[in-house]
Amino acid sequence: MPMAELEDGTLPSAGRGTRFAVLGTALLLCVVVAVLQVSTPPSSHIASMLVAVPALVAFAFGPPMIVGAAVVAAGTRWLLLPTEPQRIGSVIGTTVVICVIAALSCFVVRRGERESARLRKVVSVAETAQRAVLRPPPETLGPFRTAASYLAAAQYARIGGDLYAVADTEFGVRALIGDVRGKGLDAVSTASAVLGSFHEAAYEEETLGRLAGRLDTGLNRFLRDDEAFVTALLIQTAPDGHTEAYSCGHPPSLVLRDGTVHELPAATGLPLGLRTLTSAPTEAEGPRVAGTLLRPGDTVLLYTDGIAETRNETGAFYPLADRLTAYQRAHPPPVDPEHLLAWLQKDAHDYSCADTYDDAALLALAWPPERPSRSAETRKKMPPGTA
């Protein structure tokens, strides 16, 4: 929908305080010009300052108010004609200039409205594309409460080359996070190809190594650029809490537990899209590591390097683990995954320089702590020595 003016002719982007300030300044200018014109010699050109009134009003108002301001300014100029009756030509000239400036102001404002409307349409399409490519995770998945967050580095952008996905399979809860080399629509289409393969293969492949191989095969069928690749991290949590991870050139996930932060061990492999360039063993034969046993109360955080590689004015990288530790100290358990991600995005953005903040995707899996059974609570409340 095109940007509509309000009933008083103001622009939606202008705040009430701004509108009052602009309107007050315009009226004050008319009054000051009138007073000075009356109190100065007839040969002065103070009344010519009225040409600024419509241009000033255009900073916060739409064409109706601009036209109204031009009428007031021109009317004021004609009311001042008795102070210099021999200069009717100057009055006519000032009136013409006021009308021209008002017309140009209306043109500029209307053009800005069209550009703003076009931008809103682009943003709306981008948001729709993001929802289609990056499906929001369900609030709960297996034993976990889940949340995801994506913040594009480019102004007005809503999507980029980062990706995430989750699935509840017979092998356990599986999660993926990745980062496509490059930006723009090509990166978005590459991310879409990886996500499509994941949502199919996650339910079929028994191991994360085989799953990574399927993702690589699907991506190589799609890629046309030999230098394109995707870093990715896969994790799997069985119903008993046994958790494994497989990193395809991606930063490891972090586990938040009892106020501490530690990395989740992961087997390693090449980034997706580069496996055909080596004669290394297939993913089914690739390295494995001992899993980690998660327990209720733990939170797993998967992230892209847009968070970890954010730098401040001195060039220092964002201390992700330290900040997560500080978060746990400031926010008592259980961890709310949505609040954690919102806090982390804001904290990293505030830490960064304007030109060092990249696309940043986050995925959190929070396992709520177990509640004590009713019988256990009853025993705690019983006096000592009673049964």
Is there a single domain that holds both residue 99 and residue 245?
Answer: no
Q: In this structure, are 105 and 169 located in the same domain?
A: no
> Is it the case that residue 24 has pLDDT exceeding 90?
no
Q: CB-side exposure of 368: number of CA atoms within 13 Å?
A: 12
The pLDDT score that the predictor gives to residue 255 is 96
Domain containing residue 46: 16-127
Q: State whether 210 and 263 are in the same domain.
A: yes
**Predicted pLDDT of residue 286:** 52
Instruction: With H, G, I as helix, E, B as strand and everything else as coil, classify residue 366.
Output: strand
63 and 144 belong to one structural domain: no
Report the number of distinct structural domains present in the chain.
2
Pseudo-torsion of CA 375, 367, 197, 302, nearest 10°? -170
State which amino acid sits at residue 113. E
85 domain residue, yes or no: yes
pLDDT at 315 > cutoff 60: yes
Cβ neighbours, 10 Å, residue 339 = 13
pLDDT the model gives residue 115? 86
Inform me whether the pLDDT recorded for 319 exceeds 50: yes
pTM of the model: 0.66
In contact, 166 and 146? CB cutoff 8 Å: yes
Same domain, 88 and 204: no
pLDDT at residue 94 in the model: 86
Q: Tell whether 10 is covered by a domain.
A: no
Q: Are 345 and 298 in contact (CB under 8 A)?
A: no
Q: How confident is the model at residue 145 (pLDDT cuts 50, 70, 90)?
A: very high
Among 109, 127, 145, the domain boundary falls at 127
Domain shared by 287 and 343, yes or no: yes
Same domain, 189 and 298: yes
Looking at the structure, tell me whether residues 189 and 320 fall in a common domain.
Answer: yes
pLDDT tens digit string along 202-212?
999 999 999 99
Tell me which of 28-37, 104-113, 173-182, 285-294 is least confident.
285-294
Paired strand residues for 364: 147, 301
Beta carbons of 322 and 348 less than 8 angstroms apart: no
Q: Has residue 383 been placed in a domain?
A: no
166-200 confidence digits (pLDDT tens): 999 999 999 999 998 876 667 778 888 899 999 99
pLDDT tens track for 66-103: 898 889 888 888 888 887 777 788 888 888 998 999 99
**What confidence score (pLDDT) does residue 272 get?**
92
* Residue 385 lies inside a defined structural domain of this protein: no
Query: What is the Cα–Cα distance from 376 to 387, expressed in whole angstroms?
Result: 12
Q: What is the CATH number of the domain that holds 280?
A: 3.60.40.10
Q: What pLDDT, on the 0 to 100 scale, is given for residue 303?
A: 95
Residues 208 and 228 in one domain: yes
Residue 379 pLDDT: 47
Are both 156 and 115 inside the same structural domain?
no
- DSSP H helical segments within the chain, as ranges? 16-39, 52-57, 63-79, 88-133, 184-201, 208-222, 305-308, 320-330, 337-351, 374-381
For residues 226 and 35, which has the higher predicted lDDT (pLDDT)? 35
Average pLDDT of the chain?
82
Greater confidence, 251 or 121? 251
Residue 75 lies in a domain: yes
- Predicted confidence band at 37 (pLDDT cuts at 50, 70, 90)? confident
Percent of the chain past pLDDT 70, that is, above it, reads: 79
- Shared domain check, 172 and 91: no
Instruction: Answer yes or no: is 360 within a domain.
Output: yes
